[in-house]
Structure 1
Amino acid sequence: MRLLKLGAIFMLIQVSLRAQDTIMPLWPQDKIPNRIESGEKEVREVNGILRISKVQQPSIEVYLPAVSNATGEAMLIFPGGGYGILAYDWEGTDIAKFLNGKGIAGIVVKYRLPSDTSQEEKHLVPLIDAQRAMRLVRSMATDFHIEPDKIGIIGFSAGGHLASTLGTHFNETVYEPMDAIDAESARPDFMALGYAVITFGETSTHKGSQYNLLGENPPADLVTYFSNEKQVTENTPPSFLFHAMDDEAVPVGNSLDFLKALKDKGVPATLHVYPKGGHGFSLARKDSHLRGWTERMFEWMEALE
């Protein structure tokens, strides 16, 4: 009888894992890197979009397709918000659910946003969480019914900056390894960047993202370090980029510069530029032309070697 009960519990865990919305912390409670004890609390506000700020406990929220529909692919999702908030459903959970419809596991990363109150070396904190998220997912590939060499990332706006930072700084030590998870590679197998912030210190820079991540008057070496078009190497993952020509918040030059850097290093890349769409269009379900970026991305993923 006891074995039957244990078996039932195990089946419930498996069903829960296959069901949507499994939330897992990135770090042990008392071992979050660069954390400073403070009175800062996470804030959630809903005004058409769920906006999360002052994240204290970074996590992943896992959405899995039915096993029979699963392609073995997964994408970690980095919502945007200028490094000030996370547009958590608009560019996070909605994206994950959409990916599930294509048999792809969607994993939303609730990463910490830079804070002078609750962090030290705040400029490294989002990258620290991004590296850990990739390693955690890769370590659980079997549990999530995904292939460890088919784990990509997608990021939007400032989340696209974080995604491109991970794609160009994945092999750098930005925190001390603490367990077996940190033995896994943090390199994404492919990445998609939507109207992404790429460069700092230029006329096309999104000033809000740069200020929130680096502060006022940052040193030149940090500006260069986080100008990701300058950090591309031959090992940067294959990339899919999409942007609107009329984006006034994050000019299309960000994607154009990154595409050129990828081409110069021989990294396979695709860029789709749409004449209209502005900034922050997410799935663009109400625009029959703009929403085509999703199908173009799926086609591109199928063509990856």
Structure 2
Amino acid sequence: MRKMTVLLSLLALTIGQQAIARPHHSAASTAAENCYDSADAGEIRLWDGPAPGAAGDDACQDIPYLRVFPAANGDPAAPAMLLLAGGGYDHLTNKKEQTPVAEYFSRRLNITTFVLYYRLVRPDGTYRYPVPMWDGQRALKLIRHRARELHVDPKRIGVFGFSAGGHLATTLALHPDDDFGLPVHDAVDGSSGKVDTLGLGYPVISMDPAVYGTSNTRKNLLKDYRGAQLHQLEQRLSGQDNVSPHTPPVFLFVSMDDQRIDPQNSVIFGDALKAAGIRADIHLFPHGAHGVGLATDMPEEQAWPELFRLWLTRQHFIN
């Protein structure tokens, strides 16, 4: 299948007292562990005390946090991007989907980028739904709540997610007013959870096994849910069933020979966006691979970062 570009018309905490002090984050330090370091001024925990639903205080498992990559041009009100790596909700694929992409966004696109280390589902079901949604929405609201301090524009906050991170990103974008049953609230939670632009790389979209089979993403996120409750969550968390006129503009890329996640997830989401009249730039590459991040070694998929830059420029998200 040849590459297709679909352009669709528009319808219409408190946090730790860490300053954003340095832009440098080496790939080695990022890949080492997904562990919060209170001594790192470039990391911000989402809640000062224990996060809602925390099972402990392990810095590598129980403390969700952001790693910050400031915009290269030092703009006092730069656009912001929340970056969500994939990994099936039980691990994070940090080698290609975190630091390399964050550095591209911050250095090439002048976007202050926040890599989210959300809590991961354990074998016993700890941190299953809705915990990742709590962490994702808290991150969005925290960025907007502290926009002036973080030197970002509160009206230009996007989310970009890969694979399972794409599912989380889509869920946040489609349900900005749903707190997913968060048991405690503070001043940060009063901020808007609106997503101003949504970027997706080879995303998981559907949670309904009747649509495109089962996946580890669904099994982990919805572990031990049964019956009517499970069915309700499958529908609520399937992006193609929840597009509305208020859905933000979407950029999406996928390879049609993806062997990990059925690319029809992306096709059905594109169809739903078109039916709702949402602006979208959908790139279905004939060949590629899953988990490639910037896809620097993929002859076709490696075009997506530049296509994304052009898309953001057309949306006036970046200059």
- The two structures have a TM-score, normalised by structure 1, of 0.84
Task: Give, in whole Å, the separation in 2 of the partners of 1:277 and 1:206.
Answer: 22
Task: Give, in whole Å, the separation in 1 of the partners of 2:74 and 2:87.
Answer: 35
Deviation at 1:73, TM superposition (A): 1.2
**Partner residue in 2 for 1:169:** 175
Deviations 1:26-55 (A, max 9, x none): 11223x1122349xx566xxxxxxxxxxx3
* 2:21 partner amino acid: L
CA contact (8 A) 1:67 1:145 kept: no
CA contact (8 A) 2:173 2:195 kept: yes
Question: Which moves more between the two structures, 88-97 or 170-179?
Answer: 170-179
CA contact (8 A) 1:204 1:250 kept: no
Equivalent position to 2:122, from 108, 115, 124: 115
Secondary structure of 1:151's counterpart equals strand
Give the unaligned 5+ runs of structure 2: 1-17, 26-41
Asked if 1:76 is matched to 2:96, the reply is no
**Partner residue in 2 for 1:6:** none
Equivalent position to 1:88, from 86, 94, 116: 94
* 2:257 partner amino acid: D
CA contact (8 A) 1:158 1:196 kept: yes
Q: Percent identity?
A: 33
* 1:280 partner amino acid: G
Distance 1:286 1:234, change over 3 A: same
**Partner residue in 2 for 1:194:** 201
* 1:149 partner amino acid: K
Asked if 1:214 is matched to 2:225, the reply is no
Asked if 1:271 is matched to 2:282, the reply is yes
CA contact (8 A) 1:24 1:59 kept: yes
- The two structures have a TM-score, normalised by structure 2, of 0.80
* 1:295 partner amino acid: E
CA contact (8 A) 1:35 1:118 kept: no
CA contact (8 A) 2:70 2:106 kept: yes
Distance 1:277 1:23, change over 3 A: same
Equivalent position to 1:291, from 302, 305, 309: 302
Pairing of 1:150-165 with structure 2 (within 5 A) = 150-165=156-171
CA contact (8 A) 1:81 1:157 kept: yes
Distance 1:247 1:116, change over 3 A: closer
Deviation at 1:116, TM superposition (A): 6.4
Distance 1:224 1:203, change over 3 A: closer
Equivalent position to 1:24, from 44, 50, 53: 44
Deviation at 1:143, TM superposition (A): 2.0
Task: Give, in whole Å, the separation in 1 of the partners of 2:186 and 2:192.
Answer: 13
Deviation at 1:202, TM superposition (A): 3.2
* 2:296 partner amino acid: R
Task: Give, in whole Å, the separation in 1 of the partners of 2:141 and 2:111.
Answer: 18
Secondary structure of 2:152's counterpart equals coil
Distance 1:173 1:269, change over 3 A: same
**Partner residue in 2 for 1:36:** 55
**Partner residue in 1 for 2:13:** none
Aligned residues: 277
**Partner residue in 1 for 2:187:** 180
**Partner residue in 2 for 1:303:** 314
Deviations 1:174-195 (A, max 9, x none): 2145221111111110010100
Question: Is the radius of gyration larger for structure 1 or structure 2?
Answer: 1
CA RMSD of superposed structures (Å): 2.2
**Partner residue in 1 for 2:131:** 125
Secondary structure of 2:43's counterpart equals strand
Secondary structure of 1:65's counterpart equals coil
Higher relative contact order (CA 8 A, sep 6+): 2
**Partner residue in 1 for 2:7:** none
Question: Which moves more between the two structures, 282-291 or 226-235?
Answer: 282-291
Give the unaligned 5+ runs of structure 1: 1-12, 44-54
**Partner residue in 2 for 1:241:** 252
CA contact (8 A) 1:135 1:186 kept: yes
Deviation at 1:290, TM superposition (A): 1.6
Secondary structure of 1:240's counterpart equals strand
Distance 1:85 1:116, change over 3 A: closer
Task: Give, in whole Å, the separation in 1 of the partners of 2:81 and 2:224.
Answer: 33
Deviation at 1:149, TM superposition (A): 0.8
